[in-house]
Structure 1
């Protein structure tokens, strides 16, 4: 056995898991063709690893309709009937998982147009031309212009923490989707989410504005969220809560499991999926290691009535545990 063999075996297993998920989703589409079903049968019969991967994928969704697929493929019989459409949200969730997996590994336009960019799970610091320092959180991208009397940063996606060199002649400006942040010299974080831009201040004074509105003035320990339509109220952060990710953890105070899982998902490739609506509303407080999200998920499993299952290398399901 060579030193590289385990990597090759792991890569092959990942590829089979990906194929199984792709077939799993495709067979439940209304547009699936008889030819595609026959192709699946050939793939399924070709290798015991294929059968195991597909069975694992199907079993976790607890749907009796999966049986016809396995029976047809195992017997080699021609498909005798059109597959029924998979009921409700699970089919949509499975498709979303597959799309999310593909998108997670595809280079993005944000990175192509950015001056600085980080990958999923990567946190990295950069020194700008004016001496200021910016630290990018996981999957983040910025463009920078600190020449010709300007100090401008555009946050394309993700989250960044700025330690700005003071220069009264050149205010430092960070543009987001919904807000513009202006400072002279301070330490603060800006985060871009789909529906809002959030700003948190570690030290100094920060002005957070949006079009046609007076800017909000934030001091150390303050935070604010800005949407396309309004600026929220200024909030006080818990002690040490500003950019906790710089220290390698995520801190939560009485938030839902859905929110915790969404945050942990920022630091790993693939999809974390909570299957049960009741579980998504469980309330959680605590600190979790973002450098080892598997460890964080194990900690959740030990303290909550949930079961964490690694279905494929890029899909983790969270369902009810023995006590759930």
Structure 2
């Protein structure tokens, strides 16, 4: 790395920003090396614009770093900066700014999708689960909750009620009986009250899906308590922001779906491709992005592995003439060919 402390301060804002980016990478690599710290202090003292540039750069990278709580493997910032700094001296400025531009757009894109699929309280939830994790929790009332993929929920138990707020993801519930305290699952689209024992609930941001494995539940859309329907064993119902999608529940093979959960598979039977991609995204370590309008209406009938999302995407691409693009680390784009 060049001796940045010796460079003149009468440079352009662009050059100063490039130097600031170089310093942040160097400080990250060298840690608390005293020589590096001394040279950095000299560089800061040369011009107040140097301090301003460092503060701007830290804020930009800090926004991306904050996302690591939701995407712990995301290294977009470091990868782009490091690749940019590895370019030749002649093209360093161009590539660094190109990298930072991509980083800024990527950050905005990720933040947008995080707001769609991961509510603000996701990483402070009572329980949360990573993309490639299947777990089982025992609640204080001895109810059993299986979770998979990017799932998060809060609990509110008291003497009058038991409420599980599903922020995102997939749960399979085996509810303990308690006649004095009804058990409810609340999502952004609906409230589900257990009248029996076993059922599955999925919330992927676009919709809530209730799948009954045993007994029955009462369901009503958000803020529409008078619009209740009952869903019984072997039925599935979908609720979105507009309410119940179809008041006639879909008949399903409950045993097959529970078996698929245990085998970490997704069984699609004429499902819309956009719904499949939403579901797969919950099991992917990054983001899956696509143009919903251009892919809507394509039906999928397949059994796809949830523990190998890349394999599932390739299978969909081959079958449906799609293209899978990996232009940004940890972000997959699905487009029609």
Partner of 2:276: 260
Aligned pair 1:203/2:223, yes or no? no
Partner of 2:234: 221
Structure 1 gap segments, 5+ residues each: 1-7, 21-42, 52-69, 84-90
Partner of 1:303: 319
Residues in 1 aligned to 2:295 and 2:138: alpha-carbon distance in whole angstroms = 43
Q: Which has the higher contact order (CA 8 A, sep 6+)?
A: 1
Partner of 1:99: 109
Residues in 2 aligned to 1:182 and 1:113: alpha-carbon distance in whole angstroms = 25
1:275, CA displacement in angstroms? 6.7
Residues in 2 aligned to 1:252 and 1:166: alpha-carbon distance in whole angstroms = 32
Q: CA RMSD in A?
A: 4.1
Contact 2:326 2:332 in 1 (8 A): yes
The TM-score with structure 1 as length reference comes to: 0.63
Residues in 2 aligned to 1:197 and 1:255: alpha-carbon distance in whole angstroms = 15
Residues in 2 aligned to 1:13 and 1:284: alpha-carbon distance in whole angstroms = 33
Q: Which runs of 4+ in 1 moved over 6 A?
A: none
Distance 1:221 1:271, change over 3 A: same
Residues 41-120 of structure 1: pairs in structure 2 closer than 5 A: 44=84, 46-48=85-87, 73=94, 95=105, 99-100=109-110, 109-120=120-131
Give the helix-richer structure, 1 or 2: 2
Contact 2:210 2:238 in 1 (8 A): yes
Distance 1:49 1:212, change over 3 A: farther
Give the length in aligned residue pairs. 255
The answer to which of 239-248 and 186-195 deviates more is: 239-248
1:214, CA displacement in angstroms? 4.1
Distance 1:113 1:307, change over 3 A: closer
Residues in 2 aligned to 1:227 and 1:266: alpha-carbon distance in whole angstroms = 18
The TM-score with structure 2 as length reference comes to: 0.61
Residues in 1 aligned to 2:317 and 2:155: alpha-carbon distance in whole angstroms = 42
Aligned pair 1:160/2:171, yes or no? yes
Partner of 1:236: 250
Equivalent in 163, 180, 183 of residue 172 of structure 1: 183
Distance 1:131 1:17, change over 3 A: same
Structure 2 gap segments, 5+ residues each: 1-28, 30-72
3-state DSSP of counterpart to 1:291: coil
1:137, CA displacement in angstroms? 2.9
**Bigger Rg, structure 1 or 2:** 2
